[in-house]
Chain A
Amino acid sequence: MITLKGVAKTFGAARILDDIDLEIPAGQRIALIGSNGAGKTTLFRCLLGEYVHEGRVTIDGRDPRRDRTEVLRLVGFVPQIAPRLEMPVAALMRYVADVSRGDVADMGAVAERMGLDVDQIARRPFVRLSGGMKQKLLIALALGRPTRMLILDEPAANLDPAARASLFDLLAERADATMIISSHRIDEIAALVNRVIELERGRIVLDDTVTDVGALGSVFEVALETAREEASFARAAADWGLVRDADRWSGSIAGPDRLRFLGFVARHAGLVRSLAMDDRTPAAPDASIAREDAHDGLLADR
């Protein structure tokens, strides 16, 4: 259980967080959305005990600032911007494993599922990796160690569709973990969560529940036909992992990515002659997004 009571954070004259009250039961998956400067990263830093703030934050009844090693041992964190660490990848993995009592092999296994071979990059400085590789490694370090809670700041921002699908699968396997995932846009992460909290100028302006049943871990078989050949479409379709056969394209996409996929198709609407998407998840219910009443009402302007 995460509890925030009257949490506020001020930098100079700017009030970045303003009287945040929040309770997050264990196992809940939160989408923390909001525009730039809304206070998402600041809220994360308060949760991690990195900022001094007004009010009180507790995680499982403990103060993350005072009891930081006990609390942070339960928390896997992926930052929005990868740190500029000069150390080799192997040294970073060793460090995270040492302080969190994790296992480098577990982290390597998660990295491999994300499409990253850590043996190949073990001696390379972390800072020299590509943006996508850094993101995959940071996810592997957070998910490859024993935690009960995941704080993910724009975790899929630099990932290709295949890695995104792997991330969704990995998160689906952590069904009992509490998750707080931030994003600028709800459609990016709607399928991952069951509650949405929107921040605006440091205040909670929306606290809502989301049901996107069966989406996490689901797979869609897609087939589409194009009217003519176009290089940009071909490149993008290849990025999505679609295989071409003359004017027909086919492949599979991760369920949580289907809204993004439909966005890709919409951008090429003049080119696409037909589109079919079949949910191949066993006994998958209708994967439409439905909203339920939030415990605090639909729009809880605090």
Chain B
Amino acid sequence: MRAPALAADDLPTGEKVFWTGFAATFRLEIAEAFRARWFAIYAAVFFALVGVLLVFGLTESRVLGFTGLSRTLVTYIQLTMAIVPIFILITTVRSLAGDREAGVFEYVLGLPVGIGAWYAGRFVGRYVLASAPVVAALLAAVVYGVARGVVVPWIELGFDVGLLLAMIFVFVGLGFLISALTRSVDTAQTIAFLLWLTLVLALDLVLLGALIRGRLPIEGVVAIAMLNPLQVFRTGSMLLFDPQLVLLGPTAFTVFDVFGRVGFMIWSFAYPLVLGALAALGGWAIFRRGDLP
């Protein structure tokens, strides 16, 4: 058998090389995930969640002002805020740092794929994988609701799907940043967990405690709430369902008062996207400058 031929002048151009590497890595990330247990569990959790909410929650009874599908959506979104960030952070850092430890980086990055194409392919692949089950389960609920003749709050639904996608983006970005900063799975997981814990502790209700005890000025509390992607998502997701934000804490109310309705809607989309992009780009800058395996 003759060795496959290699033409000396057959070198592809930079842009073509990037897209070839990006597309191949993206496909590989998807193929790898379909074999991985984390993805099966992740998807099952959200579809089970929707199933339970529909079975027990899709009624015309009124709870805290919400009825029918609106109530299901509000509950689902609040639950995703509890589940999605930690799930994404842990699975992302486990996947990347685990691959480094398992010799995957040594082998794959010994192939003629650009580091940028590889990084971007994995990032987008991971983002799609993290988003698809969450959004698909939500849409399944909507289809079920429509089939049963329930009124669908389309505007609120579209807004909240967008917020969900923005929140997932920021945590995938943070997961990539942590993975670039660390070289072991244990360290990466510990940092991811501590980050999530910090963000949970900086939620509105905890900030309320700090406010009451007078340890933080109101401006500081508001700033923390504005910079905490979890709180931004929480406030933003309730904005349309509960325009006065009476169900949320006083910080959210203050934020809403300062920003106004439209201003906060823009912030709740723009901030997670910018933060996620900065985190991902920071991870990329660190990754490409250091030892790859």
Contacts and interface: CB of A to CB of B under 8 A. Distances in A.
Given A98-B23, A109-B1, A146-B3, A45 B106 contact: yes
Contacts of B1: 109-110, 113, 170, 173
Contacts of A96: 111
B232 to A, nearest CB: 34
A99 B31 contact: no
A113 B2 CA distance: 12
Identify whether the interface residues of B are mostly helix, strand, loop, or mixed: loop
B62 interface: no
Interface in A81-100: 81-88, 91-92, 94-96, 98-100
Interface stretch (A47-55, A225-233, A247-255, A264-272): A47-55
A216 interface: no
A143 B6 CA distance: 12
Interface stretch (B70-78, B112-120, B201-209, B264-272): B112-120
Interface string B258-291: 0000000000000000000000000000000111
Contacts of A138: 107
B149 interface: no
Contacts of A110: 1
Contact of B113 (A74, A84, A99, A102): A99
B103 A84 contact: yes
Given A83-B107, A144-B4, A173-B2, A98 B112 contact: no
A146 B107 contact: no
Given A45-B106, A99-B112, A177-B3, A52 B31 contact: no
Interface in B126-180: none
Given A85-B104, A146-B3, A45 B32 contact: no
B110 A99 contact: no
A70 interface: yes
A174 B3 contact: yes
B197 interface: no
A106 interface: yes
Interface in A39-61: 45, 48, 50-52
B12 interface: yes
Contact of A145 (B4, B24, B105): B4
Contact of A50 (B31, B35, B106): B106
Interface string A122-148: 000100000000000010000111111
Interface in B23-71: 23-25, 27-28, 31-32, 35-36
Interface in A10-68: 45, 48, 50-52, 68
Contacts of B112: 68-73, 75, 99-100
Nearest to A138: B107
A148 B6 contact: yes
A229 to B, nearest CB: 40
B50 to A, nearest CB: 27
A92 B290 CA distance: 26
Contacts of A241: none
A173 B103 CA distance: 29
A74 B237 CA distance: 52
Given A70-B11, A87-B32, A87-B35, A77 B24 contact: no
A101 interface: yes
Contacts of A125: 35
Contact of B4 (A88, A99, A103): A103
Contacts of A92: 28
Nearest to A77: B110
A248 B35 CA distance: 50
B26 to A, nearest CB: 10
Contacts of A69: 17, 21, 112-114
Contact of B110 (A48, A109, A144, A145): A48
A95 B109 CA distance: 12
Contact of A45 (B4, B290, B293): B293
A79 interface: yes
Contacts of B111: 72, 77, 95-96, 99-100
B30 to A, nearest CB: 9
The 10 nearest A-B residue pairs measured at CB? A146-B6, A84-B102, A98-B24, A72-B112, A73-B112, A91-B31, A146-B4, A83-B103, A77-B110, A83-B107
8 contacts: A45-B291, A72-B110, A73-B11, A74-B6, A77-B107, A83-B102, A98-B24, A147-B6
Given A100-B111, A102-B4, 16 more contacts: A51-B293, A52-B290, A52-B291, A68-B112, A68-B115, A69-B17, A72-B113, A73-B11, A75-B112, A77-B107, A84-B102, A88-B31, A95-B24, A98-B23, A146-B6, A170-B1
Interface of A: 45, 48, 50-52, 68-75, 77, 79, 81-88, 91-92, 94-96, 98-103, 106, 109-110, 113, 125, 138, 143-148, 151, 170, 173-174, 177
